[in-house]
Chain A
């Protein structure tokens, strides 16, 4: 049991993103209301964003702004940079784009949901299916 606990805790960020992703996927598949499905979709995308954020993180590291990089220090020899002291900014920057994408997707999807609602006066999927079959 403790072995299992250690295995899980050692990589807890991966387990968390998988759990979040599965919650989102479950909502997208099992929920009947389109709005709930959209929220599930958002959770699904957020899980991946968290995954990227977590892989850039390092323990005891700081943000990647290099002090005295432009010679503003006290001139104590050449600047030495230890990569381990700074978190990796690249995955975080990538996620800025991914957040934009996910917001845009959410917006388009909500616009579509509004169109569906205007036409059928409902967002419940079984009722929608019934309306469509009647036609």
Chain B
């Protein structure tokens, strides 16, 4: 096999695995899990090969679907930015599959075949969105991702999840349709759908209103899909009522991939010159982002359920990335790109830990969390590390991207954005230490009864941990939270700085 086929393999492996998986589920349910595993391992391997090759040669790798050369055919175009996002997506998808095997078996045994098939299609869609170099192909893959995520979310809590998913359908359709309209206007003006081709055709058209409308429609569509603050209402319920095995993949990946799409449209398709010189939007978008950060934090403070709290933290983190990208300088953009990777890892760690807790407690409301540090020391250690990273404590990865964002904000003179970032760190500190306090100092209700009987004797709390596979996954991801933090300088120097040029 020639190395140029890796971009196709990346998308085809999970796609074929999804089809095989849904057929195999009629024969034997136990076949589905290994098939899914093979599909994602192949995909992960391809993405790492692509990343290492691109770093080594410094050139983009392109793949023409069915041999049709661009601008007529669909081009898959892997460069420094999307290769690193691809590695993050495939790695998280693979680790989540390993971690959630026990949960899927327990919660949805008769549906496990369907679950794995839909999950693989979801990952296929995400990988395609990141890898493609064609604007319309991106829309189609985006809809594959959305449709499968509606289905995955609806597999959760039977009382609430269908309604939450339906609300997500309505908003998601509006978002995707706006993006499609934007693509339509780009097509009217340039007659092309290939990103690189559009990028070369657009500069003479910068004064045109139709291009402005195209840009705004694309941006609004992407913002709705990523849940930027006033358009975030679908997210908390959808993520909180989804089955944890699916939420763990959807929460870190879906919104981050949409941020990637925004950055791709800004940097590659429309270009800095258009966005920051021809348009005068950046200051209002940075304001919007600052409001999103503050509002997400405040709404998170009002929650009494760990999953809902995490969902509002995601709303706040989206503000970080949008704001960083729109600051209009390379430092902010660096922070934004780095935060895509870091936030994906730390949100994943947080949701993994929450999944482990939910495996034992069933319910993540705050009153059920007391005494968890004693009961589940390893899961809680992972939870604490993810929390510290989201707050932004130095050795963890969350600190470094926040550092770039703050520096970018200062460079651009956007002090309200910097203030919002610092405010959000403080809010996250309150949020997480409140949870730590409940889990560490308050003893579980059962223990309190034991106290009364035995006087002041401290009853030994039996350790009830989650399955080993989930714990190992959490350990690996926690290690990544620290490693990516320690090597963030290397990541910036080898990937982001050459990409931004």
Give the B-binding residues of A (Cβ under 8 A).
Answer: 25, 28, 34, 37, 41, 44-45, 48, 51-52, 55, 90-91, 94, 97-98, 101, 104-105, 108-109, 111-113, 115-116, 119, 128, 132, 135
Identify the stretch in B10-18, B83-91, B152-160 within 8 Å (CB) of chain A at 4 or more residues.
B152-160
Distance, CA A39 to CA B447, complexed state (A)? 54
For window 157-183 of B, CB contacts with A under 8 Å fall at 158-160, 162-163, 165-166, 169-170, 173-174, 177, 180-181
Distance, CA A115 to CA B174, complexed state (A)? 22
Q: Once the chains bind, are A115 and B154 in contact (CB under 8 Å)?
A: yes
| Size bin of chain B's contact surface | 20 to 34
Q: Once the chains bind, are B184 and A52 in contact (CB under 8 Å)?
A: yes
Chain A hits for B173, CB < 8 A? 41, 44-45, 105
Q: Once the chains bind, are B169 and A108 in contact (CB under 8 Å)?
A: yes
Chain B hits for A28, CB < 8 A? 170, 174
Q: Once the chains bind, are B184 and A112 in contact (CB under 8 Å)?
A: no
Given A41-B173, A119-B159, does the pair A55, B165 have CB atoms closer than 8 Å? no
Distance, CA A91 to CA B191, complexed state (A)? 10
| Residue of B143, B160, B173 with most chain A CB atoms under a 10 A cut-off | B173
Q: Once the chains bind, are A101 and B140 in contact (CB under 8 Å)?
A: yes
Given A48-B177, A52-B184, A105-B169, does the pair A115, B162 have CB atoms closer than 8 Å? yes
| Top 4 closest pairs, chain A to chain B, by CB | A115-B162, A101-B143, A112-B166, A109-B169
Could you write out 15 A-B pairs with CB less than 8 Å apart? Answer: A41-B170, A41-B173, A44-B174, A45-B173, A51-B181, A90-B187, A91-B187, A104-B143, A104-B147, A105-B143, A105-B173, A108-B151, A109-B166, A115-B154, A116-B163
Q: How far is the CB of A76 from chain B (nearest CB, A)?
A: 29
Given A112-B162, A115-B162, does the pair A48, B169 have CB atoms closer than 8 Å? no
Given A41-B173, A44-B174, A108-B147, does the pair A116, B184 have CB atoms closer than 8 Å? no
Q: Once the chains bind, are A119 and B151 in contact (CB under 8 Å)?
A: no
Distance, CA A34 to CA B163, complexed state (A)? 10
Q: How far is the CB of B214 from chain A (nearest CB, A)?
A: 12
Q: How far is the CB of A69 from chain B (nearest CB, A)?
A: 17
Chain B hits for A112, CB < 8 A? 150, 154, 162, 165-166, 169
Distance, CA A111 to CA B165, complexed state (A)? 11
Q: Which residue of B lies closest to A55 (CB)?
A: B188
B269-293 interface code vs A (CB 8 A; 1 in, 0 out): 0000000000000000000000000
Distance, CA A98 to CA B179, complexed state (A)? 12
Distance, CA A94 to CA B169, complexed state (A)? 22
Q: Is the interface of A mostly helix, strand, loop or mixed?
A: helix
A97-B140, A113-B166 known; 13 new pairs, CB 8 Å cut-off, are A41-B173, A48-B177, A91-B187, A108-B151, A109-B169, A112-B154, A112-B162, A112-B166, A116-B162, A116-B166, A119-B158, A119-B162, A135-B159
For window 98-131 of B, CB contacts with A under 8 Å fall at none
| Residue of A28, A101, A109, A128 with most chain B CB atoms under a 10 A cut-off | A101
Asked if B136 is at the interface of the complex by the 8 Å CB criterion, the answer is yes
Chain B hits for A135, CB < 8 A? 159
Q: How far is the CB of B191 from chain A (nearest CB, A)?
A: 9
Distance, CA A44 to CA B172, complexed state (A)? 12
Q: Which residue of B lies closest to A129 (CB)?
A: B163
Chain B hits for A91, CB < 8 A? 184, 187
Q: Once the chains bind, are A34 and B166 in contact (CB under 8 Å)?
A: yes
Q: How far is the CB of B124 from chain A (nearest CB, A)?
A: 15
CB < 8 Å: which of A45, A115, A119 contacts B177?
A45
Distance, CA A51 to CA B217, complexed state (A)? 14
Chain A hits for B143, CB < 8 A? 101, 104-105
Distance, CA A25 to CA B174, complexed state (A)? 8
Distance, CA A101 to CA B150, complexed state (A)? 14
Distance, CA A48 to CA B158, complexed state (A)? 34
Q: How far is the CB of B129 from chain A (nearest CB, A)?
A: 14
Chain B hits for A45, CB < 8 A? 173, 177
Distance, CA A68 to CA B445, complexed state (A)? 85
Q: How far is the CB of B62 from chain A (nearest CB, A)?
A: 21
Distance, CA A128 to CA B139, complexed state (A)? 32
Distance, CA A25 to CA B150, complexed state (A)? 20
Q: Which residue of B lies closest to A25 (CB)?
A: B174
Q: Once the chains bind, are A48 and B184 in contact (CB under 8 Å)?
A: yes
Q: Which residue of B lies closest to A49 (CB)?
A: B180
Distance, CA A56 to CA B421, complexed state (A)? 47
CB < 8 Å: which of A105, A115, A132 contacts B147?
A105
| Residue of B136, B139, B140, B162 with most chain A CB atoms under a 10 A cut-off | B162
Distance, CA A119 to CA B154, complexed state (A)? 13
| Residue of B151, B160, B177 with most chain A CB atoms under a 10 A cut-off | B177
Distance, CA A109 to CA B146, complexed state (A)? 12
Q: How far is the CB of B395 from chain A (nearest CB, A)?
A: 43
Chain B hits for A48, CB < 8 A? 177, 180-181, 184
Distance, CA A78 to CA B145, complexed state (A)? 48
Distance, CA A119 to CA B169, complexed state (A)? 19
Chain A hits for B177, CB < 8 A? 44-45, 48
For window 16-30 of B, CB contacts with A under 8 Å fall at none
Given A25-B174, A51-B184, does the pair A132, B159 have CB atoms closer than 8 Å? yes
Distance, CA A104 to CA B181, complexed state (A)? 19
Chain B hits for A37, CB < 8 A? 170
Distance, CA A34 to CA B147, complexed state (A)? 18
Distance, CA A128 to CA B166, complexed state (A)? 12
Distance, CA A44 to CA B171, complexed state (A)? 12
